[in-house]
Structure 1
């Protein structure tokens, strides 16, 4: 694995617990915004959209049952931007699962402008 893998929920999904309504993931929206505003970043990420239902594709290989989204899987461990944000995944991978930490990591790693206070 050479690129970080970014797992996001597909933009439109159903949650059978809540009837037949369509939903989107409010935690994924800020990450989607960054990807839209700074599309060059996408070339350096392996972005994978997964279904709401679990298991969520190959995600379990890296995180076991901790399949929240968004989630960033770091190839072969941490880099200087992820050291304080990441947690152990399965095998040698590290992962960032808190949406705010994923956001902070992407801004730092790709040298993006900081959000206005």
Structure 2
């Protein structure tokens, strides 16, 4: 099963002033836009929303504590992210990427959606 991990929007970051400000992850929002344009994609993978503060247990469970950035497109151990295998990282027995452009290209190559305009 392919898993897509995204940060929940509206989080606070205690390290940035003002402390009351809420935020969203721009790269996760960009991927959310693709999911909005092509809603059938949600049925092709499991979309998992995680909280901003680390640790992120759901992501750590599949990739380990050193790979908790979002967005993250993660493949089960028996899957290969063909046709873009060489553009994915390999850790904890799984292929994954945090690169929004690689994620978008994978969606286009694998499931036939449009590519982002250069």
TM-score (norm 2): 0.88
Cα distance in 2 between the residues matched to 1:20 and 1:81? 43
Are the aligned partners of 2:84 and 2:106 in contact in 1 as well (CA < 8 Å)? yes
Cα distance in 1 between the residues matched to 2:79 and 2:14? 36
CA drift of 1:93 comes to 1.4
- Where do 4+ consecutive residues of structure 1 move more than 6 Å? none
Aligned length: 114
Task: Name the counterpart of 2:11.
Answer: 13
Of 80-89 and 39-48, more deviation after overlay is shown by 80-89
Unaligned runs of 5+ residues in structure 2 are none
Query: 1:62/1:89 Cα in 2 relative to 1: closer, same or farther (>3 Å)?
Result: farther
TM-score (norm 1): 0.89
Of 39-48 and 107-116, more deviation after overlay is shown by 107-116
Match of 1:78 among 80, 92, 112: 80
Are the aligned partners of 2:50 and 2:58 in contact in 1 as well (CA < 8 Å)? no
Are the aligned partners of 1:62 and 1:89 in contact in 2 as well (CA < 8 Å)? no
Cα distance in 2 between the residues matched to 1:116 and 1:87? 25
Cα distance in 2 between the residues matched to 1:79 and 1:9? 22
Cα distance in 2 between the residues matched to 1:27 and 1:44? 20
- SS of the equivalent of 1:88 reads strand
